[in-house]
A and B are shown apart, each in its own frame.
Chain A
């Protein structure tokens, strides 16, 4: 009886050791993956910051104004405002062919 118990205990000890170490290695791998994705996220955040500043640079009002003027656009003038009610009635929608 007691021998059986001892044998069982030995097997349990070995088994739990295996379980423990496999969990440990899994955890390490997970940690590495978490770190890698964190680094990727940080890198992406930095890249986004650069892209945002480039977009702001391209969209700076000086450049937009120049482009708009080349298209024949000008700053809005007081005669360009109108009440919606004063606009001509919308033409009836063409039926789809």
Chain B
């Protein structure tokens, strides 16, 4: 500035104008310079003012510090509801105990008192976790109950503190079944529907107790039905002294699973116990040779692929011999049997004759069409894949016809039969409530075959010679098939260890629900005259389940319209069976 003023002609006047307005009028260049300068200064002040206003309103960037950020993150998970909206799993806010080793005064005292409070904590682990004074954070126990929290608080030990975080709770307990799955210590899904929730993105990482934002997952399960099935199954297990038992209820049109019970059951609130091998989910986690209930498929094969009518005869008069092996009937009739009789009387020889007529390739293609050779899955994960025989020759064709040689999971089998009886449309099993009726996939059998199968299943229950008579429930038109399968062991089959099953559909003429009951290694008891056949244990269990569950699912008994005794009971005022 000084340099430029020295070079100009009128240095002083430029800096100190005597009369601004006058100079503007007399000297235009000076006036313009002055204006430019004023404008520039004005701009600077305006900018400073604006900045001051901005800071005053918004404040500067605040620096946030959160010491707990890198540790103790947890998943907030969507709730799980049953089909009616009952709560199966939810997050609740629970305290977790941690220690700051740097603040612990007396290590021995802390360890002694904590171990006294939580006997399953190991003193050695605690010493290791708390001994390192450079660490500032060590979990001691996650997910305390309020009482435990109070007790720890009352110890008054320095260095111990709580963090609140979401923990999974299963109010229905063991009733929530195997399909719900498990979460880990960070509340992350490990298996079952819990894992599906993570895969679907219905969980999020959070620090601290936060409600999940994701909408709840609504299952196809009906908790009321689930309980009724579990109760009847427990009763059957003790009645027939079985080692284990399983049952499922499926909607044959939508594939929705309304109840899935496998005993011994598993309580997701106690994940340590739930993983024991004997608590394996029999319905999806294991494959079994299911025995005679496979004959449903064999007669369907006869009627669909061989265009047989239920009255076509097959020669079942002689046992079938394959080298060393002989296929026998339990109660041989020594005469040709119709397709209907083969199913009603559960003839092994007759079923084998049908399969041999169809041949291996057609049998295999038929089972494949029904999805029995596929790897299938539900939202709760993969279902144990079927155990297909490595060699599928004539003898395997014959034995598979009556349910030996091909091991499948009960759920996969139930799905196949549901597709057979629902009019012939293949369905998929699902654990999620379906709001709309799914558009049917491929047709697996003709409508005619499906109608025949339903008729024959009803015959098994109502025919005087039928094996399933004890499954009948007045008003519900139960149809079904028994199956008593010997359990293969290393040295062949043991006659006294069986899986005894009954597959039921109701009502048989236009099925809504399918029930599959399996009792594992039932014993002969006085009620069954010492026998272990399915007609005496699994069939009545299935009947009791249908009688109890069908009303819960809104299925009315057929005879309501004609019930002549309806009026007697309404006047009596007290239900008849309340005396029991």
A79 close to B (CB within 8 Å):
yes
- For the complex, what is the distance from the CA of A79 to the CA of B171, rounded to whole Å? 34
Cβ B93 vs Cβ A49 within 8 A: yes
Cβ B87 vs Cβ A56 within 8 A: yes
Q: Which of A29-81 contact B (CB under 8 A)?
A: 42, 45-46, 49-50, 52-57, 59-62, 65, 72-81
Smallest CB-CB separation from B544: which chain A residue? A75
Cβ A78 vs Cβ B578 within 8 A: no
Quick one: given A45-B211, A53-B87, are A80 and B569 in contact (CB under 8 Å)? yes
B227 close to A (CB within 8 Å):
yes
0/1 interface trace, chain B 28-55, chain A, CB 8 Å (1 if under): 0000000000000000000000000100
Cβ B92 vs Cβ A78 within 8 A: no
Cβ B559 vs Cβ A77 within 8 A: no
Give chain B nearest CB distance to A12 CB in angstroms.
12
Quick one: given A77-B576, A79-B563, A83-B566, are A56 and B172 in contact (CB under 8 Å)? yes
Give chain A nearest CB distance to B575 CB in angstroms.
6
Quick one: given A20-B53, A24-B56, A42-B211, are A79 and B569 in contact (CB under 8 Å)? yes
Smallest CB-CB separation from A72: which chain B residue? B578
- For the complex, what is the distance from the CA of A48 to the CA of B428, rounded to whole Å? 36
B316 close to A (CB within 8 Å):
no
- Pick 27 A–B contacts, CB within 8 A, sort by A: A20-B53, A20-B57, A24-B56, A42-B210, A49-B93, A52-B87, A53-B87, A53-B92, A53-B169, A56-B172, A57-B171, A60-B175, A60-B227, A61-B227, A62-B173, A62-B227, A74-B580, A77-B547, A78-B474, A78-B476, A80-B569, A81-B556, A81-B557, A81-B563, A82-B560, A83-B560, A86-B567
- Please name the 4 residue pairs, one residue from A and one from B, whose CB atoms are nearest each other, closest first: A61-B227, A82-B566, A56-B171, A56-B87
- For the complex, what is the distance from the CA of A80 to the CA of B90, rounded to whole Å? 37
A92 close to B (CB within 8 Å):
no
Q: Which of B91, B171, B575 contacts A60 (CB 8 A)?
A: B171
Quick one: given A62-B175, A79-B569, are A49 and B575 in contact (CB under 8 Å)? no
Chain B neighbourhood of A88, CB < 8 A:
567, 570-571
Chain B neighbourhood of A50, CB < 8 A:
92-93
B223 close to A (CB within 8 Å):
yes
0/1 interface trace, chain B 91-102, chain A, CB 8 Å (1 if under): 111000000000
B443 close to A (CB within 8 Å):
no
Cβ A79 vs Cβ B576 within 8 A: yes
Residues of A that sit less than 8 Å from B by CB: 20-21, 23-24, 27, 42, 45-46, 49-50, 52-57, 59-62, 65, 72-83, 86-88
Residues of B that sit less than 8 Å from A by CB: 53, 56-57, 86-87, 90-93, 169, 171-173, 175, 209-211, 223-224, 226-228, 231, 473-476, 547-548, 551, 556-557, 559-561, 563, 565-567, 569-571, 575-578, 580
Smallest CB-CB separation from B560: which chain A residue? A81
Smallest CB-CB separation from A61: which chain B residue? B227
Chain A neighbourhood of B171, CB < 8 A:
53-54, 56-57, 60
Give chain B nearest CB distance to A10 CB in angstroms.
14
Cβ A76 vs Cβ B551 within 8 A: yes
Chain A neighbourhood of B569, CB < 8 A:
79-80, 82
Q: Which of A21, A42, A46, A53 contacts B56 (CB 8 A)?
A: A21
Smallest CB-CB separation from B575: which chain A residue? A80
Besides A21-B56, A53-B92, A83-B560, 8 new A-B residue pairs in contact (Cβ under 8 A), listed by A number? A49-B92, A61-B223, A76-B551, A78-B559, A79-B569, A81-B563, A81-B566, A87-B570
Chain A neighbourhood of B211, CB < 8 A:
42, 45-46, 49
- For the complex, what is the distance from the CA of A21 to the CA of B59, rounded to whole Å? 12
Smallest CB-CB separation from B227: which chain A residue? A61
Chain B neighbourhood of A61, CB < 8 A:
172, 175, 223-224, 226-228
Give chain A nearest CB distance to B580 CB in angstroms.
7
Cβ A74 vs Cβ B577 within 8 A: yes
Chain B neighbourhood of A73, CB < 8 A:
578
- For the complex, what is the distance from the CA of A50 to the CA of B79, rounded to whole Å? 12
Give chain B nearest CB distance to A17 CB in angstroms.
9
Smallest CB-CB separation from A20: which chain B residue? B56
- For the complex, what is the distance from the CA of A94 to the CA of B577, rounded to whole Å? 33
Chain A neighbourhood of B557, CB < 8 A:
78, 81
Q: Which of A42, A49, A60, A87 contacts B172 (CB 8 A)?
A: A60
- For the complex, what is the distance from the CA of A23 to the CA of B571, rounded to whole Å? 77
Give chain B nearest CB distance to A54 CB in angstroms.
7
Chain B neighbourhood of A81, CB < 8 A:
475, 556-557, 560, 563, 566
Give chain B nearest CB distance to A57 CB in angstroms.
4
Smallest CB-CB separation from B212: which chain A residue? A49
Give chain B nearest CB distance to A95 CB in angstroms.
25
Q: Which of A24, A52, A76, A83 contacts B57 (CB 8 A)?
A: A24
Q: Which of B175, B224, B567 contacts A82 (CB 8 A)?
A: B567
Smallest CB-CB separation from A71: which chain B residue? B578
Give chain A nearest CB distance to B59 CB in angstroms.
9
- For the complex, what is the distance from the CA of A83 to the CA of B557, rounded to whole Å? 11
Chain A neighbourhood of B561, CB < 8 A:
83
Cβ B227 vs Cβ A65 within 8 A: yes
